[in-house]
Amino acid sequence: MKLALTVPLGATETATGFASRLACRNNSQFVQDFVQDMGITWQSVISGDAEALSVLAELGGIEMSDLERCSFRRAAGRARRLGGEIVPIRMLRVTNQRVCPLCLAQDGPVPAAGSVLWQFEPVLACPEHAVALVELPASKFPRSPYDLSGRILDHRRMIDAAAMRPRPMAVTAFERYFAARALGAEHPPTWLDQFNVSIVWRASESLGVRIRHGTRARADSLSDQELSAALDAGFKVLAAGPHALHAAMKTSRENQSIDVGGFYTEFVMFARFLQKLEKTNETKPLLDAVRDFIERTYPIGDGEDVMGRPCAQRHVHSVQTASREFGVDWIRMQRLFQAIADTPGHLGLPAPTAHLWVQADAWSPWLRRYARALNPKKAAKRLGLKTGPFTRMVKSGILQPVASLPGLVDRFDPVEIDALLARLFERAKPVDQLEPDMAMALTAHARCGQDLIPISIDQNS
């Protein structure tokens, strides 16, 4: 039976909002009393019970399908369903309900229709007026927190004051995207469409806060304006795809003012959020995109766990990992990396990062060669030379060190030493005494006396 006094259903109004305005129109102070008089319970309306909504639609003289379009229904656990979206309860405002002061700026005993979008935590601006939503004070018993019109009337003076001086706030790309998904409207497709809308929200927020405010920033410490901008920044990066995500995280690391090192300390809130998703198949594409970035950015070894996935291949070496893999003392490796960093371009290899990390694919062959290299004393012994002749040979350029870096002892590749010996012995001949352009060497086969090998100090001979 249709009531004599009704109100039109708002374009994005919820069932609870419609019932609340219907109660006001019929001079009922509390919506729960009104719906009980109509033969249904307030909790059934809140829960989106089909029978209760059918009665409410009939009372208001509207189509059931129109009322259902923006009304929440119970889903698994404490979640709610809105159209085709499953919405976790933590995503919804109840006691901290917000409203648009300009949408409600009107005279009359019945407030204007509210919007389902006002109930969502990530929506901070009115999509119609581009002003900040204002938070209503918590309801006091017996006022239900879902009794929107009752709460608006309770705080009409505050709302009118906010309408006189509204705070401009841009409607962000994220809010437009979120509204389209929540209301089932068309929107430009993105790879984020495969994820639950709450995942997109939390990922955008935690990433955006990190990008705009640094490692230690938290969303709950930001103003609405700052949070809105951060959320939008994170969303735009994610919506652009994995390559944009990698580029943004790389830039964010390069711009950080503190030396922390490690994904979980450099992207604290984003990392914590992603950790909660490790065992969910739904978010695998997002996790894989971040896992790929971690493996290519941090010194992660083969088989090490990267957010629930074993690393397939090392891409980065640190001082510690290079020391372990190539068997070089940690302190010597530290000095080596620092000397290389202090003389960029000396070896023709990509420069180490500020953390003294190097690209494994580019550096591993050289590090392997350096690890087997000999100090001058051992290199001279391998050649059968004393220190003086060996030094003259190095100065002549006949034998080159693996690297000659400031503050470090030159080291020589034993493979090159053996190759040099082979060439020398091919040309060598025993002599009774040395000529001025000859140097003395001990052969590896010396048993009786010393064999003398003519070694030209001239590099070109």
pLDDT digits over 80-119, tens only?
999 889 999 999 998 899 999 999 987 678 899 999 999 9
Q: Which among 137, 138, 136, 126 is positioned nearest to 166, based on CA atoms?
A: 126
Q: What is the mean pLDDT of the chain?
A: 88
Average pLDDT over residues 46-74: 93
Are the beta carbons of 373 and 413 closer than 8 angstroms?
A: yes
> What SS3 state is found at 98?
strand
Whether pLDDT at 455 is above 50: no
Q: Return the structure tokens found at 54.
A: 């059918």
Predicted local confidence at residue 459, as pLDDT: 41
Q: List all residues 6 or more positions away from 7 whose beta carbon is below 8 Å from its beta carbon.
A: 18, 21, 22, 25, 60, 110, 113
Predicted confidence band at 406 (pLDDT cuts at 50, 70, 90)? confident
When pLDDT is averaged across residues 365-371 and rounded to a whole number, the result is 94
Structure tokens at 229: 């901008």
260, burial (CB in 10 Å: exposed 0-12, middle 13-18, buried 19+): middle
- Identify the pLDDT of residue 443: 41
* Domain architecture of the chain: domains with CATH: 15-164 (no CATH), 189-312 (no CATH), 317-372 (no CATH), 374-461 (1.10.1660)
The angle that helices 242-255 and 197-213 make with each other, rounded to 10 degrees, is 30
CA 192-193-194 angle, 5° bins: 90
Q: What is the pLDDT of residue 389?
A: 84
| Angle between helix 173-183 and helix 224-239 axes, rounded to 10 deg | 70
Report how far apart the first and last C-alpha atoms of the chain are (Å, whole number). Answer: 112
* Per-residue pLDDT, 32: 94
pTM to 2 decimal places: 0.82
The single residue listed with the structure tokens 């012995």 is 425
- Residue 205 pLDDT > 80, yes or no? yes
Residue, of 84 and 55, whose pLDDT is higher? 55
| 198 and 92 Cβ atoms separated by less than 8 Å | no
Three-state SS at 356 = coil
Cβ-contact 157, 201 below 8 angstroms: no
pLDDT (tens digit per residue) in 213-257: 988 889 989 999 999 999 999 999 999 999 999 999 999 988 876
Q: pLDDT tens digits for 256-277?
A: 765 557 898 889 899 999 998 8
Contact 300, 263 (CB under 8 A): no
How far, in whole angstroms, is CA 43 from its chain's centroid? 40
Instruction: Kindly state the DSSP code that residue 81 receives in the 8-state scheme.
Output: E
Q: Which residue has the tokens 């020589």?
A: 412
Cα–Cα distance, 56 to 54 (Å, whole number): 5
Give the pLDDT band (50/70/90) at residue 9: very high
Spatial separation of the C-alpha atoms in residues 380 and 358, rounded to whole Å = 31
Q: Answer whether residue 446 shows pLDDT above 50.
A: no
Q: How far is CA 159 from the centre of its chain?
A: 38
Closest CA to 129 of 184, 174, 175: 175
- Work out the pLDDT band at 156, boundaries 50, 70, 90: very high
Q: Do 142 and 30 contact (CB within 8 A), yes or no? A: yes
Residue 182: C-alpha distances to residues 12, 129, 174, 421 (Å): 10, 19, 12, 77
Strand partners, 98: 135
Between 172 and 403, residue with greater pLDDT: 172
- Average pLDDT (314-325) is 95
Separation CA 60–CA 56 (nearest Å): 6
CB within 8 Å of 139: residues ≥ 6 apart: 95, 145, 147, 150, 151, 154
How large is the average pLDDT for residues 286-306?
A: 94
Rounded Cα–Cα distance for residues 111 and 21 (Å): 7
Span 320-330, average pLDDT? 95
- 297 vs 443, residue with greater confidence: 297
Q: Cα(358)–Cα(355) distance, rounded to whole angstroms?
A: 9
Alpha-carbon distance of 1 to 154, in angstroms, equals 30
Q: Is the pLDDT of residue 208 over 90?
A: yes
Q: What angle do CA 337, 342, 347 make, to 5 degrees?
A: 70
Task: Give the residue ranges of DSSP H helices in 256-353.
Answer: 263-266, 268-275, 284-297, 319-326, 330-342
Q: 403 — phi, psi (to 5°)? A: -155, 140
